[in-house]
Amino acid sequence: MANKRDIIIIGGGLAGLTAALRLANNNCKVCLIEKNEYPHHKVCGEYVSNEVLPYLNSLGVDPFSVGAKKISKFEITDVKGFPLKASLSLGGFGISRYAFDNLFFELLRHKAEIIFDTVEKVTFEENHFSVTTQRKDVLYADFVIGAFGKRSNLDSFLNRRFMKKNAPWLAVKAHYEYGFPDDTVALHNFNGGYCGLSKTETNAVNACYLATFKSFKKQGAIDAFQKKELSKNPYLNHFFNEAKPIFKKPLTISQISFHQKEPVENHIFMLGDSAGLIHPLCGNGMAMAIRSAQIFSEMFFEAFQKSSFDRIKLEETYAAHWRGEFAERLKTGRFIQQILLNPFASKVGFSIAKIVPSVLPKLIERTHGSPMK
Ligand SMILES: Cc1cc2nc3c(=O)[nH]c(=O)nc-3n(C[C@H](O)[C@H](O)[C@H](O)COP(=O)(O)OP(=O)(O)OC[C@H]3O[C@@H](n4cnc5c(N)ncnc54)[C@H](O)[C@@H]3O)c2cc1C
């Protein structure tokens, strides 16, 4: 069959890039299809948990080579600016998605085929896939990996269940010049959402917030929302008054959904946000994207070493492994988000965490994994 690859990966965010790099390193004929050229900015908090470092090292990806900031402290404030502080046992680093995704791309471009196009259709028939792009190219593969992020045209095409449910969240992100410690990631609450601050490799501070559409709608525009709602928190008030924007205008995304998804659909192995999105306040979505790519790749190699290969068994094993690894983290993320966004529960939560300081680090631990071997 012409145009046949071993594996087609749809989406070149961290999940797709990690899987592509690992599979290509093991001589798989991989084709990655991504709709945007690199480098590009993305709406993201840009704090990455250190749990990914051993795996990144094994792939030859070094975030510190481009100046990523080492982060070891966490600070959280309630809507009125009452602060709690904790040290991060595992820690993390601050790097823009512009630089981070591009590090992977620069390594991958010499090892795998990369096509810049939007996938419109994926069909599975007689044990193989055909993938059609916007430019009407049709490619074939034995396996397809879905790494197309939290919400894609392909979710509609595949008629995924979560697309029928409400998605009442939006997010805004921009880089600023502002005096902020290199070693800290902060999470400041406001009515209807929360805003993360951390430094990136360029010394710019990334400010990224998630808000309910309902709370945003009252102000209707980003400037007004920041001035009237976010600035009720004194930390955010100081930030938005003093910080100098670097972007011409902030990046925005809407219709963010945290509903449950399936890790395998229509025989497509879903990685990263395509399989499930953790609440951003956990600061662990990128590590989960990288970890899901690791889980898939190692399982894939193992399955191929056996003399008889069973596709359905591989799908079941991946789904079970994915749930075993991430279901609890997603549940804890949902729980923390519910507490933070409920004024009464949040007040009680902050009071408890003040009296029992070990609560905060324990909660952080429950949303993170251990270092990836
Ligand atoms: C507000 C907010 C803040 C966050 N902050 C953090 C944080 O601080 N730390 C953290 O670890 N995580 C954070 N996350 C989560 C993190 O951004 C995601 O978990 C992570 O980006 C997932 O990577 P991914 O590869 O699955 O998806 P993505 O990075 O979204 O990549 C998906 C890719 O697929 C491409 N694509 C989509 N459809 C198609 C198509 N049809 N054809 C071709 N290409 C396609 C897109 O262009 C995109 O590049 C945050 C999320 C949000 C919403």
Residues 96-136 pLDDT 10s: 999 999 999 999 999 999 999 999 999 999 999 999 999 99
Q: Is residue 153 part of a domain?
A: yes
What is the position in ligand 1's atom list of the atom closest to the CA of 133?
A: 42
Pocket of ligand 1, candidates 148, 206, 208: which has the most ligand atoms within 8 Å of its Cβ, to mutate?
A: 148
> Which residues, at least 6 apart from 244, have a Cβ–Cβ distance to it below 8 Å?
176, 177, 178
pLDDT at 249: 96
CA distance 65 to 7: 30
Residue 2 — very low, low, confident or very high, per pLDDT cuts 50/70/90? Answer: low
What CATH number is given to the structural domain containing 203?
3.50.50.60
| Cis peptide, bond prior to residue 39, ω within 30 of zero | yes
Coil, helix or strand for 168? coil
Query: Residue 115: its pLDDT value, please?
Result: 98
CA distance 26 to 251: 36
Confidence of residue 1 (pLDDT cuts 50, 70, 90): low
CA–centroid distance, 13 to ligand 1, in Å, is 6
Q: What is the number of structural domains in the chain?
A: 1
Structural domain boundaries, residue 338: 5-366
160 pLDDT more than 80? yes
Q: pTM score, two decimals?
A: 0.96
Query: Is 372 within the bounds of a domain?
Result: no
pLDDT at 338: 85
Inside any domain, residue 373: no
Non-local CB neighbours of 170 within 8 Å, separated by 6+ positions = 210, 211, 213, 216, 252, 253, 254, 255, 256
Q: How remote is the CA of residue 289 from the centroid of ligand 1, in Å?
A: 8
Determine whether the shortest distance from the Cβ of 148 to ligand 1 is under 6 A: yes
Looking at the predicted structure, is the pLDDT value of residue 34 above 90? Answer: yes
C-alpha 350/C-alpha 340 separation (Å) is 9
| 353-359: average pLDDT | 80
- Specify if 371 maps to a domain: no
Cβ(19)–Cβ(271) below 8 Å: yes
Burial class (CB in 10 A: 0-12, 13-18, 19+), 129: buried
pLDDT computed for residue 364 by the predictor: 78
